[in-house]
Amino acid sequence: MEGFTLNCTSSNGTHKPFLRNVEFMSISLLSGRARIANTVSTQCYNATNGNVTYDDWQMNLTATPFRFSSGLNKFMTVGCMTLAYLIESDTANSSYWSGCVSMCRSADNLSNGSCRGIGCCHTAIPKGIWYYQVHFAENFNSSETYNFSRCGYAALVEERAFKFRTSYVTTDELYRRRLPLVINWAVRNKTCREARQNMTSYACASEHSTCVDSANGSHYRCNCSEGYQGNPYLSHGCQEIDECANKNAYPCSGVCHNTQGGYWCSCPLYHVAALKLVSICISLVIILVIIFCIHIMCERRKLIKVKEMNFRQHGGWLLLEEIRKRQGLAFKMFTKEELEQATNKFHKNNILGHGAYGTVYKGILKDNRVVAIKRAKIINERQKKEFGKEMLILSQINHRNIVKLLGCCLEVEVPMLVYEYISNGTLFQLIHGNSRRIYISLETRLKIALESAEALAYLHSSASPPIIHGDVKSANILLDDNLMAKVSDFGASILAPKDEKQFVTLVQGTCGYLDPEYLQTCQLIDKSDVYSFGVVLLELLTGRKALYFEGTEIEASLSSTFLSAMKEGRFSKLLDDQIKYDEEVERINEIAALAKACLNVKGEDRPSMKEVAKELDRLKKIKQHPREQQNDAEIESLLNNPSIYREEENSGFYSLERNAMLSIEPGR
């Protein structure tokens, strides 16, 4: 075939195959590769006359079916002060494809087998090139080196066949030496399908041959079919393999029977016992596998039953039925596997925070929604019975200042809740963060307080049935990117009790925020949330924590410190430094008076959350509508509202008018 013809030339009595002046060292029909001998190019310095001579070897395979292998060859440069390039084309506009520089200062720096720039360097070549020539940089030569070879070397060589030796640099060992180079070959410019259309030029001549398309372009090669070996390019080149004659390559423990393109083994009588033993072993393995599969199936069934039991106990069927009835309800029943995938199996790196009732994780659902997943710690029997019903109620809460409940998982022992993700942390972090606190204006504090109060008022008054939060604190008020308040964490929440039997028997909540009346009676009511909200108001005003340490390292309650300061007329000393010198002293004092009303020991003497929200809304609007322009009758009604501000003999409370003078008048 054209381009594959090699000449057999005699050299020193030995016949060798050549293509032009290129010697072929080996040819592989199966892999489509050949190894040829490539002469090393040299750049030598003559110390006598200072001249530099070059012996640049080049190879042109343009009109042949051969290409240089990019995967098995490397362009090597050897020497001191030697910079060589590989040129990919013999045209005038040719460009340098590859090149590298090798340097060295002393023989101590050289190391056998190391070709990383000291005495030797190598670089890869691009795919599909058919021409190569070496070019040395004239400014880099061995004129400035001592005790080294006078020459620098470069060649494209088979990477596996070249091992660097220090003698290549210290002697002239590489001078005009020939090294192996790998070339790929194929029948060019046709695919197998195209080649079969013209059988006169089809290269796969043997009847037991197959055609293989090249992975790099429109080329193909021929291989002998399975069970045959030889030259597929000759008419009878692929001969059947006698597998029985080569037991090392084709093992057979019995009697070998050769067939066309294969072989098979039969067992003699003396192998029957061994065969029985093997059969018994295989049978035992099969039995063990069956037992193992049955065990896995039983465990899966147990797991499914446990999931179904948990789902039923938590009221899942009732909840699922209600969700189906209310088609517009955006609430989903998640599986345990879905939430594990969303949180990387609840990895610690996804933890957003810990609470008394569980841990909150950040999760990413399959639809790329970012959510907060609460994994509770415990749940009592009453909550188990009412959980599905309460989830249905919570799912219908739709208020801009309440974190939206997106769904839940009921097939686990303790249900998991899925909320919308709020990105800007908590009010607690904003006020008490470890880093340098940012400035928080009075308007911002009042806005956050109003939005939180409106959310709680909605739960108490507008939800059906009413909901008591049970754990109101700054850590449970989230903030979005615009510092909008979002009340969260309903882990301690209950539906408003209808009778005495429904009151809780175990006190829950957070120290520093707990209603003292709740501690005595264990009866969680809406006014318990009011007391806790009063502590949050104090945090906004003072910048202090609900429980904090004084200089004496004694834990103190912010609410008790505040009430004492109010009685002694030193409330202004507790104010946060950021608002202490605010010009709106009257408005600050009115907020303090509202907080004091919320902290009344008796729940019945506290205002409702609806009244608290209304008062905060009025205080927020004072900035926009100056007091002197307000309706006098409206102001009078706010001042005389007995449900918000009660003035009792022993309580030390002040009317709204007198609270405006707290900073200068001592309390009674």
Q: What are phi and psi of 193, to 5 degrees?
A: -65, -40
How wide is the angle at C-alpha 529 spanned by C-alphas 524 and 530, nearest 5°? 125
What does the alpha-carbon distance between residue 416 and residue 335 come to, in Å, rounded to a whole number? Answer: 10
Structure tokens at 425: 């942390």
Residue among 26, 79, 404, 355 at smallest CA distance from 185: 26
Residue 538 in contact with residue 513, Cβ under 8 Å? no
Residue among 286, 32, 73 at smallest CA distance from 160: 73
Q: Could you tell me which residues come within 8 angstroms of residue 399 by beta carbon, excluding any fewer than 6 positions away?
A: 454, 455, 458
Identify residue 491 by its one-letter amino acid code: G
Identify residue 465 by its one-letter amino acid code: P
What does the alpha-carbon distance between residue 650 and residue 654 come to, in Å, rounded to a whole number? Answer: 11
What does the alpha-carbon distance between residue 652 and residue 645 come to, in Å, rounded to a whole number? Answer: 11
How wide is the angle at C-alpha 499 spanned by C-alphas 413 and 505, nearest 5°? 50
What does the alpha-carbon distance between residue 199 and residue 195 come to, in Å, rounded to a whole number? Answer: 7
Is 374 part of any known ligand binding site?
Answer: yes
Secondary structure (3-state) at 284: helix
Number of Cβ within 10 Å of residue 440's Cβ equals: 17
Element (H, E) at 16: strand 14-19
Secondary structure (3-state) at 161: helix
As annotated, the active-site residues are 471
Kind of pairing, strands 209-213 and 220-224? antiparallel
Q: In 359-441, which ranges are continuous DSSP H helix? A: 381-395, 427-432
Residues contributing to the annotated binding site: 374
Residues contributing to the annotated binding site for ATP: 374
